[in-house]
Amino acid sequence: MERVAFKMKLKPGFKQEYIKRHNEVWPEIVTLIKNSGISDYSIFLDEETNILFGVQKVSGNTSSQGLGSVEIQQKWWDYMSDIMDSNPDNSPVTTYLEEVFYLA
């Protein structure tokens, strides 16, 4: 199982809305993520920079950011695009991060 980390950017003033939407995450998104071999998924917010930091375990061949060909994922990205920096297809602008240290 591989651990994947990435960062995204929340637009200023949308912390509570981001939390609300994720507290009400669609069951279809949860099912898609879990069925894709993704687990132990967390997102953290650095309030000074509005940077969202995501980390997840991946046992399949893709992270959650690689599910863009699935219709429900596209709808979720559309739903979130007004509060996050997004690409033209409404996927979040994502930068993968290199692991430089890990202590198990």
**54 beta partners:** 6, 43
The distance between the two most distant Cα atoms of the chain, rounded to a whole number of Å, is: 38
The catalytic residue positions are 22
Compute the chain's Rg from CA coordinates: 13
